[in-house]
Structure 1
Amino acid sequence: MAELRALLFDLGYTGVATLLNSGNAVFCAPTGTPLEHSATIAAAISSRLKVEVPVIVKSARELEAIISENPIDAAVHQHSSFLVAFTQDTKALSGLAAMESLVVPPEKFAVGKHAAYLLCAAGILESEAAESLLGKAGKPATTRNWATVLKLQALAGERDA
């Protein structure tokens, strides 16, 4: 994570903070779009760190929308088994709707305007839907559990303060 922070600083981003060893970072950028930042960061990671990884960038406003549009009520003890799927292009979310057939109650699944949501009531390892989301079907997406999403929101809020 120290290398990721240094890379982001070198690219000119300010207020860079990373979250544990999760591959998540929060930063400030005076100009540019999330899509532009995604491409710039992915290219820098590839050339400097020699790692090919998808990079998804969401603005603080987009993260707020993802949190506020969440249609699934997950209890605090379920936050680690409640997945949020992020895509850089929201059109890719529609492809995740096919996972609905893998959802077994009491699991819950929803595709919103900005993200997809999967509550794995019996745990992530027990869920065929989670396996699909984390595997091939989720290729255009990256997932984070709800606890991580809320921590990223708190970090983003600290940048605004």
Structure 2
Amino acid sequence: MTGSPSIYSGLTQLGASTGLPDSPEAAVLEKVPNPEPGVRYLVRFTAPEFTSLCPITGQPDFAHLMIDYVPGDWLVESKSLKLFLGSFRNHGAFHEACTVGIGRRLAEELAPVWLRIGGYWYPRGGIPIDVFYQSGPPPADVWIPAQDVPPYRGRG
């Protein structure tokens, strides 16, 4: 649109060559105004190849993350979310700290109506660990589909 300011004009990472942040704390989560203010809807991000490091052994840990949120005034810009999630690749933290930390950071940055994250972690030592976080009760007036990540059988 000509003559009107773009809701994307303040973004610094989208459309630019942006390296992976050194840590989750250094990652910049960018947001844009919700283009459908006043409408209740669900946004879902699926990250089936999330990786982090075990803080004790340094061995890689792998998870299938599902992030659902009902936007308030803001949407997360997806490239910045990808870079934020990628910053965990060389970050040592337990499954619980990664999953809950991602959920809390998104909730703090976006102030969504509602947010949940499911961290479906692949087995280490023969035991998969699933970690769930949500910001409060889900709104009754929004369709929130099940995450449908199966119990571990080769996750997919």
Asked whether the two chains share a fold, i.e. TM above 0.5, the reply is no
Q: TM-score, normalised by structure 1?
A: 0.29
Q: Which has the higher strand share?
A: 2
* More helix per residue: 1
